[in-house]
Amino acid sequence: MASGTHEPCGPCRYDDVIKDAKRWCTTCDEGLCEDCENAHRKSKISRTHQAISIEDYRMIQNVSISQVCEQHGENLEWFCKTHDEVLCMVCVPLKHKACSGVIAIRVAATNARESTALSHLEEAIDGTMRNLKQCIMNRESASKDIDKQELAIKTTILETRTKINCHLDKMQEKLLRDLRSTSHTCKSKYSKLFRILESKKEMLTKLKEQTQHMKQFSSDIQVFLGTRQVNQQIISEVRYIKTVIGATKDYELKVAIHSLIEKLANEVEDFGEINVSECARKLAFRDPKIDQAQIEINVPKSRNISDVKLQLIKTFEILRNSEITIVGCATLPNGHLLIANSKENRLIEYSDTGEHIRDIPVSDRPFDITVIDTNRVCVTYSDIKFVEILNGSTFNVEQKISLQTLCHGISIEDGRLYVISGHFTIQVLDLSGRNLDFLKMPSNSVLHITTGRDRIFYTDYDKNILHCCSLKGYELWHLQKKSITRPHGVAVDTYNNVYVVGFLSHNLTIIQQDGKDSKTLLTKSDGLDNPTAVYYDKEKRTLLICNYKGKVALYKVI
């Protein structure tokens, strides 16, 4: 791509004539004056080329996209679907002569602007920026904690100082210097990480802007190639960011006041000691979906439910001495099954082969579970007005989020919790507990909710309706079928196809993502007897179903 204040007309410059270009051909990658553009548009070989204004061209001028083979220096004109590689005319006979999936790059680049690869690239940039913002906020909070700790320790030192003889002034000053120095050292380490994260944030902001410009103004081939190249850069940056934050530590300033300071004033040489306790801090960093662009271009955005089948993996009964009522379940990242028994203050953990792992005490009778990430789960309770974020390994409470009303179903999407809270309301919270929104529902007989991409799904057990709405709460469609009575648990797959269990109809139904078609997958003859909970694991493509009184079934979705 050319650069400079004025873009010269390429064809005119070939004839040693200098004229300013008014338009830019993204296919030929050169400027065109008014006369040359007219000729360019009339020519059969170039009339389909895309010409943009010079102003628009400047928006993508600095987007670096190579259209030349690095090995042979020839233009990239072919694409091998078998090996997922872009090729020049030399590459094809040398290494891909036997490949049946070699197509012209212009064919592979068709609809590149609408490809899932480009969408995922944009999502990856946005997601990484969100991760960086969260990391920065976390480090800012940690730095403020250091300030608070410093202030608290300083107060302790000064209060202690008033009780002892004035000749300890020098030791006091020595300790205060030590405190300031240690505090400065800790904050310097935070500042170093701040600078790294801020620089990556700025880089990603620029990369996002360039990607948007590329999407809007570049040719299909440039978008195709740019997507691949920027994709690789994002992979590298994410790897580097994860390495940096993986070594992140929290520092906590402490002071130890000598126990004999008052009695042995003349014998103590130091006023105290500033200690720093270090603990590794696992900052939440959700991996954006970054895959090879050419593979994703052909990923379907929907799947017809007529093709969906279930393959039984395991079924078993939860055996308890006391009464059991299953209302919620989830599949943990390690493959274990986590089940909410609302009759006791416990979660129950099983292996995917049906072996009982342990009972997990919790704060009250659990209702629903959602998996936040590989390290955390969130639990709601029927009788208390808060939700809890638990460590995914120890199940210790990491955070308690208070609510104004009782809550039931819960789901997470893009770092936001969606909770059935009170009557007619879905409450939206961030993971710090900050309230983001209240979404109104047309019913107060809703217990279960799930989210998928840009959708919220919930079941009205009284009116036998499945609702689908946007993440802002605007209803998109609803489904009411005689074959689904008393719908309870609801789950959604990667295509936004919906799975609903009917408590009184004793069945599992799958609904097409647009709500226009449905199919019964399981019935009472398959072991469904008052099913209440269902959970779809998008990574493993498994479906976990629980009956009210403790029968559990795990299926593979094929």
348 assigned to some structural domain: yes
Give tens-digit pLDDT for 382-414: 899 999 999 999 999 999 999 999 999 999 998
Final residue in a domain of this structure, among 220, 247, 274: 247
Read off the CATH number of the domain in which 319 is found.
2.120.10.30
Q: How far apart are CA 469 and CA 454, in angstroms?
A: 9
Q: What is the Cα gyration radius of the chain?
A: 31
Is the domain of 125 the same as that of 59? no
* Residues 394 and 462 grouped into a single domain: yes
Residues 130, 286: Cα–Cα separation, whole Å: 9
The backbone torsions φ and ψ at residue 198, rounded to the nearest 5 degrees and listed phi first, read: -65, -40
In CATH, what number is assigned to the domain containing residue 55? 4.10.640
Of the pLDDT bands very low, low, confident and very high (cuts 50, 70, 90), residue 116 is low
Residue 243 sits in the same domain as residue 349: no
Given the structure tokens 């300031």, which residue do they identify?
180
In this prediction, residue 501 carries a pLDDT of: 98
pLDDT band at 474 (very low <50, low <70, confident <90, very high): very high
Q: What is the DSSP letter of 461?
A: T
**Segment 300-339, tens digit of pLDDT:** 457 899 999 999 999 999 988 888 999 999 999 999 999 9
Distance CA 93, CA 72 (A): 13
Residues 145 and 210 in one domain: yes
Predicted pLDDT of residue 336: 96
Residue 490 predicted with pLDDT over 50: yes
Structure tokens given for 545: 């179903």
Say whether both 394 and 534 belong to one domain.
yes
Q: What is the pLDDT of residues 263-311, one digit of tens each?
A: 666 675 777 888 887 776 666 666 555 444 333 444 345 789 999 999 9
Tell me the helices (H) and strands (E) count for the chain, helix number first: 9, 32
- Looking at beta carbons, which pairs linking 135-141 to residues 24 or more positions away fall under 8 Å? 135/197, 135/245, 135/283, 135/285, 136/194, 136/197, 136/198, 136/201, 138/281, 138/283, 139/190, 139/193, 139/194, 139/197, 139/248, 140/194
**In this structure, is the dihedral angle defined by the CA atoms of residues 533, 356, 377 and 333, taken in order, positive or negative?**
negative
Query: What is the Cα–Cα distance from 374 to 156, expressed in whole angstroms?
Result: 40
**Owning domain of residue 18:** 1-64
Whether residue 167 sits in one domain with residue 45 = no
Residue 547 in 3-state DSSP?
A: strand
- Nearest-CA neighbor of 312 among 23, 145, 525, 82? 525
Alpha-carbon gap, residue 362 to 360, rounded angstroms = 6
125 and 52 within one domain: no
* Residue 531 within a domain: yes
Query: What integer pLDDT is reported at residue 1 of this predicted model?
Result: 44
**Higher-confidence position of 255 and 367:** 367
**Segment 494-513 mean pLDDT:** 97
Same structural domain for residues 57 and 151? no
CA distance 500 to 480: 12
| Dist CA 422 CA 133 (whole Å) | 31
Would the CA dihedral through 71, 77, 78, 79 be positive or negative?
Answer: positive
User: What's the structural domain count of the chain?
Assistant: 3
Tell me, what amino acid is at 141? S
Residue 280 lies in a domain: no
Beta bridge partners of 312: 555
Question: How far, in Å, CA of 467 to CA of 442, rounded?
Answer: 9
- Residue by residue, DSSP assigns 221-275 as HHHHHHHHHHHHHHHHHHHHHHHHHHT-EEEEEEEEE-TTTTTTTTT---SEEEE
Residue 338 CB neighbour total at 10 angstroms: 25
pLDDT at 152 over 60: yes
- Edge-to-edge strands, sheet with 465-470: 446-452, 455-460, 465-470, 475-480
How far apart, in whole angstroms, are the C-alpha atoms of residue 234 and residue 200?
11
pLDDT band at 164 (very low <50, low <70, confident <90, very high): low
- Domain closes at, from 212, 247, 282: 247
Q: Confidence class of residue 4 from pLDDT cuts 50, 70 and 90?
A: low
Residues 152 and 42 grouped into a single domain: no
pLDDT, average across residues 517-538: 97
Burial of 494 (0-12, 13-18, 19+ CB in 10 A): middle
In a domain, 209, yes or no: yes
* Final residue of a structural domain among 47, 64, 81: 64
Give 16-57 pLDDT, tens digit per residue: 999 999 998 988 889 999 999 999 988 888 888 888 888 888
User: Please, which pLDDT band fits residue 250 given cuts at 50, 70 and 90?
Assistant: confident
Looking at per-residue pLDDT, the higher value among 139 and 358 belongs to 358
List 253's β-bridge partners, or say none: 276
The reply to whether 515 and 380 lie within a common domain is yes
pLDDT score at 29: 83
Q: Is residue 296 part of a domain?
A: no
Q: Looking at the structure, do residues 477 and 351 belong to the same domain, yes or no?
A: yes
Asked, for residue 545, whether it belongs to a domain, the answer is yes
Residue 484 lies in a domain: yes
Q: What is the pLDDT of residue 286?
A: 60
| pLDDT of res. 175 | 83
209 and 348 assigned to the same domain = no
Domain for residue 57, yes or no?
Answer: yes
Looking at 121-125, 344-348, 527-531, which range is the least confident one? Answer: 121-125
Q: Among 206, 209, 212, 222, which residue's Cα sits nearest to residue 24?
A: 222
Whether 422 shows a pLDDT value over 90: the answer reads no
Within 8 A by CB and 6+ apart from 454, the residues are 470, 471
Is the predicted pLDDT of residue 233 greater than 60, yes or no?
yes
Cα–Cα distance for residue pair 453/469, rounded to 1 Å: 12
Torsion angle (degrees, nearest 10) of CA 437, 480, 486, 345: -20
Whose structure tokens read 């009788």? 383
